Amino acid sequence: MVQSTGNKKVKTAVFISGTGSNLKSLIVFSKTKESPISVNLIISNKSKAKGLNYSKIFKIKKKVLDFKKKNLVLSERKLLSFLKKNNIKLICLAGFMIILSKNFIKKFNGKILNIHPSLLPKYKGLNTHKRVLNNKEKYSGCTVHFVNSKLDSGKIILQKKVKIKKNETENSLAKKILIQEHKLYPKAILKVFSL
């Protein structure tokens, strides 16, 4: 599993594509005494991702890479050498909308985590809240899991359940789950380091 060496924090890269509210919660967590990780890099496939602003705010290095299908091999090669150069030992995906290749995942085997806004193994993939509501589920939630080569299918680390109220909308459900995500990701990281 992931191990810290001595009292040094494990250098971590967070991958984002959008708002980066999970990124922010991870950065804030990483600055606490109990955190086994430090956030040293922010990676994005979108130069306009709002979350990239946290790079300036918290003085954390960032890198934007293309990741388009035809450039994926090259982007991942660049990324790997960049991660190595920065001594990154853990990757946290947080709203990163790119599917990484098997080869990349193998190179970081067991050291990539992801957060997904559903109670996996239910509702893998996109539009989770919409599908959950259409199916009239009573509960939904969020999951932090290890990343393997199949989408949203790696070993589950932690989950948090939320109750769906009458008149719940996609928006209200997304908001409610996001609040839980911000608590769950740090907790899951603590769990990973205690395994």
- Residues of this chain that bind ligand GRF (CB under 6 A): 16, 18-22, 51, 94-95, 115-117, 178, 181
Helix axes 21-30, 170-194, angle to 10 degrees: 30
Beta carbon nearer to ligand GRF, 10 or 147: 147
How far is it, in rounded angstroms, from Cα 115 to Cα 20?
A: 12
- 116 tagged catalytic: yes
Beta carbon nearer to ligand GRF, 76 or 181: 181
Let me know if 44 is exposed, middle or buried by CB neighbors in 10 A (0-12, 13-18, 19+).
Answer: buried
Beta carbon nearer to ligand GRF, 77 or 191: 191
Residue of this chain nearest to ligand GRF (CB atom): 95
Q: Determine phi and psi for 15, rounding to 5 degrees.
A: -105, 130
The neighbouring-strand residues paired with 43 are 15, 63
CB of 181 to ligand GRF, least distance (A): 5
How far is it, in rounded angstroms, from Cα 117 to Cα 174?
A: 8
Beta carbon nearer to ligand GRF, 6 or 57: 57
CB of 113 to ligand GRF, least distance (A): 12
How far is it, in rounded angstroms, from Cα 119 to Cα 140?
A: 6
CB of 18 to ligand GRF, least distance (A): 4
- Listed in sequence order, the DSSP H helices in 47-169 are 53-58, 72-85, 102-107, 128-134
Contacts of 121 (CB under 8 A, 6+ apart): 152, 153
CB of 7 to ligand GRF, least distance (A): 29
Give the residue numbers annotated as catalytic, written as ranges.
116
